[in-house]
Structure 1
């Protein structure tokens, strides 16, 4: 029996939908034991087949994917102020003990976390990100803001956001070519057919590109929506209520980078807040890329909580 091209596409979309559920479960349960049978149940795939399907679509085994996300989260926590103990970081990232954390860390980075140069690692990742951004920036080389200065006069608004459900498309390798723009076009078409296109559009990624290698980052283009069923590459995620520090920007990617530098490096340390465990959002004013790819009108939303 011959399998039609349409059947193949539908089957692939179904598996993408189910693996999306598994990935969403992982990123929201990193502090807990993540068991293969639980992931298979969330994905609605037989445990016998789940491992192979996940590896085929994601490029990593479930165990390797979970460990990498935990180590990436640990790097982020190691870079925060005030400094946390390695035991606290290990438990907060889902490792069973500090020795388990140290063993996994050495396997990936070659040294113990206590000897790791987190500043040098972040600088190298940040330089890689800047090189890519500069290629697409009409203003040439990015200029880093001097400490504590705010020449662009960024203004922070503290907002309490209600819980929100989003429809999203997860984009692998978002810093290559125009993958995010293409995904945005597909999601806009999806939203227009269902009456969601005038909702709040968002962009976010769980990974920090100044910590995680760019080839491992995944960007989510999303729109707030209620009452829909996830199908194919369009997934569904529910964010809880949160507090955000919001900064509005209208300009190029270089302005957005400087706003993020100022938020994290100047405003946050003196604000009385600490980072919450949610991604930083790009809340589009209008539709994503409504002004092209060199000029953006967005509100950066940094999730925070009181110390």
Structure 2
């Protein structure tokens, strides 16, 4: 894939992500890409795998559904307007068309009687049910029922300095083959640049919620902390984990249980914490190799800001 093309399309995606609550025109994003407006749409569709409009609509709906789940104090109308929809009626229609369920059903999965098929299933092949969005409550009682050798959870608020990182994005979202391919390349790169494997501090940028976003559309970027003197060249990119307060959840257990642990931060801990998530993706710091050990040991980091 042409590196310059990818760089331009990545800038378009970043622009869309920061303007989801505004009306976005094809000409506007074509200008961001510096491609001709006559050809930009085909280039975007060819590289991303969906049209510009489908991408924008999908991302608005995914963000809105996350607000429905994690911001119960917000009305459906407020979420609709904040997500770039002209009315709650248009929003509800779009949510039901995409997910197969209305906003009220997503907020109250216990009232859902039948499973339904929306665009997320027919177009993206992703099974979806509102109950999947609500994790099992991570309480002391639940933790005591779990095998402590397999699962161990604890949340702390920690202050971190900024960290310089070398990154490489998975080309296939959350699909395991894409994730492992990115990590293998990045780990080898770090070792070749003088960072021994057992000394590497590895973080993944997890941009999307896989209970809402199709797995191959989830954005996942592997990263390794590097020193100031280390040079980064394509296909690797230089980035930064910013200074600030982070909620840090230690997790050890089966890979399929990680999503419940992640969602528990948002559903259980944050509402009582006095904090809200800052505008930065969730991080996963890996402490072992799940392919070797058969289990995951990691820290989940969520950047915080005061309410």
TM-score normalized by the length of structure 1:
0.72
Aligned twin of 1:135: none
Report SS of the residue matched to 2:2.
helix
Q: Mean Cα displacement is larger for which, 22-31 or 221-230?
A: 221-230
Residues 291 and 145 (structure 1), Cα distance of their counterparts in 2 relative to 1, 3 Å cut = same
Q: Within the alignment, does 1:273 sit opposite 2:281 as a pair?
A: no
Q: Which residue of 2 aligns with 1:210?
A: 211
Q: Which residue number corresponds to residue 178 of structure 2?
A: 179
**Contact 1:168/1:220 (<8 A) preserved:** yes
Root-mean-square deviation (Å): 3.6
The aligned residue for residue 57 of structure 1 is 47
* SS of the residue 1:78 aligns to: helix
Query: Which of 231, 234, 239 is the aligned partner of 2:234?
Result: 231
- What pairs with 1:69-218 in structure 2 (closer than 5 Å)? 69-109=59-99, 112-114=102-104, 116=106, 119=109, 121-124=129-132, 147-149=139-141, 150-151=143-144, 154-162=153-161, 166-192=165-191, 200-218=201-219
- State the TM-score, normalizing by the size of structure 2: 0.72
> CA separation in 1, counterparts of 2:43 and 2:91?
27
Q: Matches of 1:214 and 1:168 in 2, distance apart? A: 20
TM-aligned CA deviation for residue 245 of structure 1: 0.6
What CA distance in whole angstroms lies between the structure 2 residues aligned with 1:228 and 1:28? 29
Could you tell me which residue of structure 1 aligns to residue 298 of structure 2? 298
Measured after TM superposition, the shift of residue 70 of structure 1 is 0.7
> Is this contact kept in 1: 2:21–2:82, CA < 8 A?
yes
Q: Distance in 2 between matches of 1:96 and 1:207?
A: 25
1:125 to 1:107, Cα distance in 2 relative to 1, 3 A: same
Structure 1 residues 196, 27: closer, same or farther in 2, change over 3 A? farther
Contact 2:166–2:223 under 8 Å retained in 1? yes
Distance 1:113 1:255, change over 3 A: closer
Q: Measured at CA, do residues 165 and 54 of structure 1 come closer, stay the same or move farther in structure 2, by a change above 3 Å?
A: farther
Match of 1:283 in 2: 285
> Counterparts of 1:304 and 1:116 in 2: how far apart (Å)?
26
Q: Note closer, same or farther for the CA distance 1:23–1:194 as it changes in structure 2 (3 Å cut).
A: farther
Higher relative contact order (CA 8 A, sep 6+): 1
Structure 1 residue 18, shift from structure 2 partner: 2.4
Greater mean deviation of Cα atoms: 13-22 or 68-77: 13-22
Q: Offset of 1:178 from its aligned partner?
A: 2.4
Range moving further from structure 2, 107-116 or 56-65: 107-116
Change (3 A) 1:94 1:105: same
Q: In the TM superposition, what is the alpha-carbon distance from 1:147 to its structure 2 partner?
A: 4.3
Change (3 A) 1:64 1:302: same
Give unpaired runs (5+ residues) of structure 2.
Answer: 113-128
The 5 A counterparts of 1:249-268 are 249-253=251-255, 256-257=258-259, 259-260=261-262, 262-268=264-270
Q: Secondary structure at the match of 2:154?
A: coil
Say if 1:103 and 1:255 are closer, same or farther in 2 by CA, change over 3 A: closer
Distance 1:34 1:240 in 2: 29
- Shift of residue 22, structure 1, vs aligned partner: 2.0
**Matching residue of 1:23:** 13
1:36 maps onto 2:26 in alignment: yes
Task: Please report how far the alpha carbon of residue 168 of structure 1 lies from its aligned counterpart in structure 2 after TM superposition.
Answer: 3.0
State how many pairs are aligned.
Answer: 278
